[in-house]
Structure 1
Amino acid sequence: MAQGPTITTIAARAGVSIASVSRVLNGLPTREDTIRKVMAAADELGYVPNAAARSLKSNRTYQVAFAMADIGNPTYVAMVREIQPVLKAAGYRLVLHSTDGDVDDELDVLRRLGERYADGLIISPLRGFAQQHLDLLAGAPAPVVVIGSVPQDTPVDNVRTDSRTGVRLALEHLYGLGRRSIGFLNGPLDTIPGAARAAAYTDALAALGLPYDPDLVEVGDFYRAAGARAAHRLLERSRPDALLCANDLIALGALDALREERLRVPEDVALVGMDDTELATAAWPTLTSVSLGSAERGRRAAELLLDRLEDGAAAPRIVTVEPTLVVRASTEGAS
């Protein structure tokens, strides 16, 4: 089999020394005319750098991993769409890993950073932080950025949102429309978003002077089918005039259930989701939703990681992306 171009053949074509070719291909300071000659010769010969050799020389893989609970969830898809171009522009590949929300899997991802499968990690834990998480984060052999709230004084770069404020914005909107029986469809309470949004719902009701009614609350999971089942269970025992859903997938399931129950949206039941994913505009009626800045959180996490790769000694940073309410047809016509 014919041998591909090497630094020797490139040197011969460019009319420069092998040492000069090596310096150019490894990004070391070299005269501009030498760089032009070497790069032109490399292009003519179809030279492709050996990534494995480059990795060994630099002690870098030029890969960054992103570990998330569900690779198919539109929230994480929005993050990936922002993370990848930021990393690609800096010369890094993005490797995706779905943990399925399993704590042991998350811990394994952190432990294996020592195997140098990636130069850094962006991780979004679903079920909170066990002491093992915190220990591994503190001693991580490679930079880690966490998307999601972390305990105070955790020595890690962190991008978070304020879902409590997001819930308050949603309930104030529904209250302003005259809705007083506002139900809540949540995900599992042993997850970070489930716990935070449950507490925020209770607080927001109290701030509006509305009583907490357990018959208006149902817990399921962060999926469309689970949202539909949760909505049916809630509707069997109560008739709310509005529903807040802990994410857009649950809201789509609720919309399915409301149709089956012959209830109109928004005339009979106003409906609000959270995350403001692409699903919100694809639904009919289009879905009012609380944007938690998923795309922005992904972009900022990638930027923090690149900064950390350049300066590992800098103090950890916290970035907070504020929520906004995006009003659409599922509440717009409510009165």
Structure 2
Amino acid sequence: MHSRPGTAPTIETIARHAGVSTASVSRVLRGLGGRPDTVARVRAAATELGYVPNAMARSLRGGQSRQVTFAMPDIGNPVYIAMVRRIQQVVRAAGYRLLLHSTGADPAEELAALRALADRHSDGLILCPIRVTPAHLEELARSAAPVVVIGSVPEEVPVDSVRADSVTGAELAVRHLVAAGRRRIGLLNGPADTVPGAARHRGYERGLEVCGLPHDPALTSFGRFDAVSGEAAARDLLARVPGVDALFCANDLIAVGALRALRGTGRDVPADVAVVGVDNTDLAEACWPPLTSVDLGSQERGRLAAELLIARLDASGRPPVSRLAVQPRLVVRGSCGSTAGTTATHKEMS
């Protein structure tokens, strides 16, 4: 016999079903024991009625909700889907549920996720911001629960972090394009005021410098980290600047848009224009031609962040802050006219 459809069993319904007082039911469900026959009857009634303990009540009682949150800029971006998969594996194995919060890259939403930790609906937070403001640093410093940042944070902020070396990754891409004979390499970037946007730009400039090529500001375009922006930026750049023979795109979504623009303007990839993306998402292999892309270790960053968070939740005392970095590698496919399936690291290209 279960409760009526649409109604959840309560302490009162369990007490009536077991023939005991509500106080007895409360003691048993709180793990405080009682007479053996009473405990047996209450547990049997709870099972028969389909009683599920309330997670928030458990958190107030025992200090943990057994839930952790992942706050990411865009749940539709394949990068964050890859992170979710690995984070989920780690937290599930540790006995936690994973809550997802898609912030839209809005700092206010990210700050709200940090402040919500005080409500104890979640035991900890993995935060992946693309902008880190002074308000972020203040909230991180006084967080009510453990936080791990996927990204870079200043040394003085006492939170664990896992970052990608985007600067080196962008340099890898440019050096590969130059080695393939390209000399007019455009950069299709996301917003300049974001952490990844700034890092891609620094790496692009460094790659040109290492290869002895001048930096032409006309070859750089800033937009959004999506395919629509990538297509518009590519069309604009190709129309404004003659002789562009390669495009380095700040993520795979931008690269998808760039490929669409190149097809629409009658340019062959890679014969006329080579294309490189960033993130090595599932999109890279699904494109035609398959997309050469810088792998920034999205899955690895997700795994490491989850392991750091679980370790801090399980630790006694205050362990030292961990700062981890995942090294990039270039995965070469047909969009550069190079041998598909090969990879390169910064050490190998040095």
Which aligned runs of 4 or more in structure 1 are off by greater than 3 angstroms? 1-10, 39-53
Q: In 2, distance between residues paired with 1:8 and 1:121? A: 40
1:56 is displaced (CA, Å) by 2.9
Size of the aligned set, in residue pairs, is 321
Determine whether 1:118 maps to 2:93: no
Match of 2:337 in 1: 332
Q: Please state if 1:61 is matched with 2:65.
A: yes
Q: Which residue of 2 aligns with 1:35?
A: none
Asked if structure 1 preserves the Cα contact closer than 8 Å seen for 2:278 and 2:296, the reply is yes
- Matched-pair contact (CA < 8 Å) for 2:130–2:194: yes
Matches within 5 A, 1:188-203: 188-203=191-206
Q: Deviations over 1:167-219 (max 9, x none)?
A: 11111111111111111111110111001111111111111100111221111
Structure 2 CA distance for aligned equivalents of residues 156 and 55 of structure 1: 23
Whole-Å separation in 1 of the counterparts to 2:63 and 2:168: 43
- Alpha-carbon RMSD: 3.0
CA separation in 2, counterparts of 1:75 and 1:280?
A: 12
Deviation at 1:239?
2.6
Number of the residue aligned with 2:213:
210
Q: Deviations over 1:118-139 (max 9, x none)?
A: 1100101112x22221111111
- 1:289 partner SS: strand
Residue in 1 that maps onto 2:300: 296
In structure 2, how many angstroms separate the alpha carbons of the residues matched to 1:224 and 1:214?
22
Residue of 142, 146, 150 corresponding to 1:147: 150
**Residues 1:305 and 2:309 aligned together:** yes
Q: 1:220 aligns with which of 210, 220, 223?
A: 223
Describe how 1:58-207 pairs up with structure 2 within 5 A: 58-127=62-131, 129-207=132-210
Q: Once the two structures are superposed, what CA deviation does each residue of 1:66-114 show, in whole Å capped at 9, x if it has no partner? A: 1111111111111001111211111211111111111122222212221
Q: How much does 1:57 deviate?
A: 2.2
Runs of 5+ consecutive residues of structure 1 not aligned to the other structure: 11-17, 29-38
Change (3 A) 1:40 1:295: farther
Partner SS state of residue 326, structure 1: strand
Counterpart selection for 2:324 from 319, 326, 329: 319
User: Which residue in 1 is equivalent to 2:248?
Assistant: 244
**% same residue:** 55
Structure 2: how far apart are the matches of 1:41 and 1:331? Answer: 67
Greater CA deviation, 47-56 or 286-295? 47-56
Task: Give the Cα separation in 1 of the matches to 2:333 and 2:156.
Answer: 39
One-letter amino acid matched to 1:319: L
Structure 2: tracts of 5 or more residues without a match: 19-24, 34-42, 340-350
TM-score for the superposition, normalised by structure 1: 0.86
